[in-house]
Structure 1
Amino acid sequence: MCLNRKPPSETGFLGDLVSRYALPAGGQAPSGRETTGPERRSSARRKLWELGNHAACPVTGVCLRLPELHKLARKAGLALEGCTEYEMHIALVSECRRRTPLAEMVQRELDQRHGLCVRQSLRLKSPEALARWWDQSCMGMDWAGVFWAVLTHARCTPELEFAVLGQVHMLQHQVGMAARVDQTRLQSLVQENQKLGDALLLVQQRLQTTVQEQAQRNALHEAEHMRLRAECIRAETAQEQALAQLADLKRHSPDLPLRQRLVEDNRQLLEHNQQLRRALNQASLSAAQPVPACSVEPARDTRQALQDEGLSMLDRAVLCVGGRTRVIPVYRELIEDKGARFLHHDGGEEDKAGQLGPMLQSADLVICQVGCISHNAYWRVKEHCKRHGKPCLFVETPSRSALERVLCGYSEPVRAVPRNVQTDPAV
């Protein structure tokens, strides 16, 4: 609202209204003091009780809060207990329209509180400058101080006072309307906040339940982890103890593998002995039966009979040197089916090389696995058999069929083998 305008006519309706509005509380100008701006020559600031008849209400309502006014009223000795806020406001405004202890206390309080604005206004020397300053500052943060400084300035004319009070009056109406709108909006926000608070409470409850469930699952997982860790430690400890015991057994019993092999050979010999006893019993029963007189046996080929006699391994010790682990049981079955005693040496892989010589001495027939034997063991077998005239069969492929072909193709007698005679494919 711009206040820099031409003053209204003194004879017009607005001029009369301004004159009556700017009169002090007594209804007439105080003796010895003019009220119009042009005629006012004093440079002293105006007092609260010297302002217009309607100025006390906005000054007390805008520049001071009601609790502060109530405190000043108690200091001034006014008994306002039991009054409503409106009744208290009316009483305070009435006291401030004339020079009373309360009006003087309010004057001092406002001058002290808004001293900065009052000092700034002292630099303004005309009503127009006051009006421009009011237009620039009325919407600022400290507009109450500007309001008090303008009204109490020595160069504030009745027209300027009328305009400032009117603008403040309308601002109060707007503030009241805004307050009602804000109150309605506040109620809506309170209701919305209540709904959001209820929703937040439900979310927090669900979150707390989820956190508790997750904590329980974590505790179970941790307990399971500790249990598995303990089992792993126990298993590692048992493994270390077993390895230590095994190392101790190997250290105190270096010939343990040989003794285990001998135990296994002894078991096989017992089984073979039982088979031979059963075959002997059957042969004894067959010899006790009478032979028919007309029995004529067909003649057999002499060469075939010699081959049968040469391949007969009944009650002979057959040593198999080398061979794959999975094929050894097949060789054992094939040799024992022919009535021989099966012996085995791995050719230096796991068995000690020193055991090969005694086993070669005790064997009647040697089977050498060419592809599954060390180079040293191969030459030892070959040299031993050549030196002692012991038959030796060389098998290139570690399989049952290969061993059967070698046994079938060998036609030299086992019992009478000439010295230095071998079936080595490499010779």
Structure 2
Amino acid sequence: MRLRAAALLRETALAWEREDRQAVEAAIPGLPKRLTLARRVESLARRVQDLMRELMRERLGWNKHGAALPPAPESAPDALGDLREKSVLCVGEDGPGTSATQRVIEMAGGRFMHHGGEDEQDGPALEASLVAADLVICQTGCVSHDAYWRVQDHCRRTGKQCVLVEQPQALQFVRSREATKV
């Protein structure tokens, strides 16, 4: 009798969950197709990231384990060769994209610096970081208005190159490396 009651409870709960799911699917037209497409996009994005990492390793002369490859004749210029011995300041939130950007900059021989770009942070610290940087990456969607304008003003006054990105993505930085001077 207890086993039947437990089975009945489970079947009832399962039936309610199925009804809830059907109601959600009915409320959002095309949900199953959207979910399938979202999974496919995630898979393709991972594949693109893997291919970009592989390309970057080739350009920087590294194998997949981080060891230097033997020199090979270059048919294309190294996209990040000019970062050697340069300081790159990333202004914006500290997240996985920022960590990836840091790895790319350091693999290219550059020095990575970071400033959060928030209102609470010390303005003189941002100014000092800007002075020490050779190149500035500003995450426009992740900084305060004050920090954004300080970065813009400093780069205009000094002629420093400033790369504006919406999100802290290393691959986006690599693609926009040839951005215009601010």
Q: Bin the TM-score by the shorter chain.
A: 0.5 to 0.7
Quote the Cα distance in structure 2 between the aligned partners of 1:299 and 1:390.
Answer: 29
Greater strand fraction, Structure 1 or Structure 2: 2
1:376 aligns with 2:146: yes
1:327 aligns with 2:103: no
1:42-93 deviation per Cα after TM superposition (whole angstroms, max 9, x unaligned): xxxxxxxxxxxxxxxxxxxxxxxxxxxxxxxxxxxxxxxxxxxxxxxxxxxx
Per the alignment, residue 348 of structure 1 pairs with 118
Equivalent AA in structure 1 for residue 87 of structure 2: A
Which residues in structure 2 correspond to 1:86-235 (within 5 Å)?
A: none
Per the alignment, residue 312 of structure 1 pairs with 82
Quote the Cα distance in structure 2 between the aligned partners of 1:411 and 1:376.
Answer: 22
1:358 aligns with 2:154: no
1:388 aligns with 2:158: yes
**Per the alignment, do residues 334 and 354 of structure 1 end up closer, same or farther by CA in structure 2, a change over 3 Å counting?**
same
Quote the Cα distance in structure 1 between the aligned partners of 2:120 and 2:101.
Answer: 19
1:404 aligns with 2:174: yes
Give the conservation status (yes or no) of the 8 Å contact 1:311–1:411. Answer: no
Q: CA deviation at 1:334?
A: 1.5
Q: Percent identity?
A: 39
Quote the Cα distance in structure 1 between the aligned partners of 2:147 and 2:83.
Answer: 24
Per the alignment, residue 273 of structure 1 pairs with none
Equivalent AA in structure 2 for residue 344 of structure 1: H
Q: CA deviation at 1:348?
A: 2.2
Greater helix fraction, Structure 1 or Structure 2: 1
How many pairs are equivalent? Answer: 113
Quote the Cα distance in structure 1 between the aligned partners of 2:74 and 2:101.
Answer: 33
Give the conservation status (yes or no) of the 8 Å contact 2:134–2:161. Answer: yes
Give the conservation status (yes or no) of the 8 Å contact 2:119–2:146. Answer: no
Give the conservation status (yes or no) of the 8 Å contact 2:95–2:168. Answer: no
Supply the RMSD in Å over aligned alpha carbons.
Answer: 2.8
Quote the Cα distance in structure 2 between the aligned partners of 1:411 and 1:348.
Answer: 24
1:91-116 deviation per Cα after TM superposition (whole angstroms, max 9, x unaligned): xxxxxxxxxxxxxxxxxxxxxxxxxx
Quote the Cα distance in structure 1 between the aligned partners of 2:114 and 2:81.
Answer: 20
Give the conservation status (yes or no) of the 8 Å contact 1:330–1:400. Answer: yes
Quote the Cα distance in structure 2 between the aligned partners of 1:314 and 1:345.
Answer: 21
In structure 2, list runs of 5 or more residues that go unmatched.
1-67
Q: Highest relative contact order (Cα 8 Å, sep 6+), 1 or 2?
A: 2
Radius of gyration: which is bigger? Answer: 1
Quote the Cα distance in structure 2 between the aligned partners of 1:400 and 1:362.
Answer: 21
Q: CA deviation at 1:329?
A: 1.9
Quote the Cα distance in structure 2 between the aligned partners of 1:371 and 1:344.
Answer: 16
Quote the Cα distance in structure 2 between the aligned partners of 1:372 and 1:299.
Answer: 37
Structure-2-length-normalised TM-score: 0.53
Q: CA deviation at 1:324?
A: 3.8
Which residues in structure 2 correspond to 1:20-35 (within 5 Å)?
A: none
Structure-1-length-normalised TM-score: 0.24
